[in-house]
Amino acid sequence: MKVHISRIDKTLPLPTYHTAGSVGFDLITRETTVIESGQIALVPGNVIVKVPEGTALLILPRSSLPRKKALVCPHSIGVIDCDYHGPEDEIKVQVQNISNAPVTVERGERIAQGMFVKVDRAEWSEVDGHGAQTRGGFGSTG
């Protein structure tokens, strides 16, 4: 898949797939950001991506982020739509500091990963019922 991308700071590298088997590419931080204890911050990812139609770009935390940096993504997954690629639409990673001290994310650090997924748009067909019995809610299967 060919994807158009622009870097804000061209001295930083383009995102890369870290291994041959990686499904996500690493986003690199554009500037050093300090996140105070308990606070939420947006860390700039240095790129504007024109997501191909029929796909979405998911922004996911790196699995080591909580353990190494005491940061979590409070929204879990960021979704970049195919029409989010204007001149000010830099991808940013929302993080929350879960430690009791300030956390510094250094310029050039790998903070998150991006993954392209195919998506369909729903055409709603409203019905009065679905012909199934209620099976329960959270944790109902065991």
Question: What residues does each domain of the chain span?
Answer: 24-118
Cα–Cα distance measured from residue 139 to residue 110, given in angstroms and rounded to the nearest whole number:
35
pLDDT per residue as tens digits for the range 14-70: 999 999 999 999 999 999 999 999 999 999 999 999 999 999 999 999 989 999 999
List own/partner pairs for 126-129 with CB under 8 A and 24 or more apart.
none
For the chain, give the percent of residues with pLDDT over 90. Answer: 87
Query: Please, which residues bridge with residue 116 across strands?
Result: 57
Please state which of the four CATH numbers 1.10.3210.10, 2.70.40.10, 3.40.50.1980, 2.40.30.10 is assigned to the domain occupying 24-118: 2.70.40.10
Average pLDDT value for the chain = 94
pTM, to two decimals: 0.87
Q: Kindly state the helix (H) or strand (E) to which residue 93 belongs, with its residue range.
A: strand 92-97
* pLDDT at residue 125, as a whole number: 95
Instruction: Read off the pLDDT of residues 83-93 as tens digits, 9 standing for 90 and up.
Output: 999 999 999 99
